[in-house]
Amino acid sequence: MSNQDDYQAKLATITAIVAEDTKSPAIPIDVYLQEAENLYHWSQDDQAQLTGAGLDWALVQDIPVRAGALREAQSLWFKERFTREEAEKQWNEQSPEGYDLRTRLLHSFRYAYRDAEDLLSRVSAIADGNTHADMIQDLNDIAVLGKENIVPLQAINFDVALLDEAATTADVLSDLLAQATTDREENSSARVIRDQAYSHLKEAVDAVRACGQYVFWRNDERLKGYGSRYFRRARAAAKNTAANNPNGSE
């Protein structure tokens, strides 16, 4: 099956994993997936010994499907994260222009409506607030107010095309702000599913590794296939660093 097929086949099981049983990866996903695939192939020659020690062989057979589901979940999360980062970049580029447009319009409105207390009061109400959401709403409110009361603006030679620009800018910035902030990484549904898919694969990997380490505890040649090469290297590097710096950073 393709990764997409694996993902669809496992989606119900993955999303049923509760929060307390969901783990975040402690290892790069691409590395973990490769280690899982390696474990699957390594364990094939040891089926009799592993099942003899109580391992459910269905867990081993399910590793490729769980791995495929995780690959797809990782890709979906990466796509969402990329979209969010692009939206953040565009927001950072375009929002200052929105704030500047808001400031210029309010300046013109205060002058144009200087003799109309009711309109000045509405301008003051629009000017309240200083959040991004306020700025976006202000641009839309300014566009509406200006179109409803356009004669005083024309009297000061105000460029009425700016009213349409304000409304359009509000729409664009509203979408960008939603994309940039709604799907924050920690609240992302794609991120949650990725972690659930990782946890599902980890369940099988941990079970196979634990059994293999139990069975082959005195067989170094077979034992090495039931550990994480990534963590072995990390421990060796840490040990080497410690040996070269016996006094720490001093």
pLDDT of residue 179: 79
pLDDT tens profile 184-224 = 555 578 899 999 999 999 999 999 999 999 999 999 999 99
Q: Which residues of 163-196 are buried (b: 16+ CB within 10 A; e: fewer)?
A: beebbebbebbbebbebbeebeeeebebbbbbbb
Residue that is written with structure tokens 């839309």 in the block: 140
pLDDT of residue 250: 46
Give the other-Cβ count within 10 Å of 199's Cβ: 19
Q: Which residues of 88-108 are buried (b: 16+ CB within 10 A; e: fewer)?
A: eebbeeebeebeebbeebbeb
pLDDT of residue 181: 77
Q: State the Cα–Cα distance between residues 41 and 231, nearest whole angstrom.
A: 20
pLDDT of residue 239: 72
Helix axes 57-112, 132-148, angle to 10 degrees: 40
pLDDT of residue 178: 83
pLDDT of residue 248: 57
In this structure, are residues 158 and 152 in contact, taking their beta carbons and an 8 Å threshold?
A: no
165 residue type, one letter: E
Low-confidence residues of the chain: pLDDT under 70: 182-187, 241-250
Handedness of CA 201, 202, 207, 213 (dihedral sign): positive
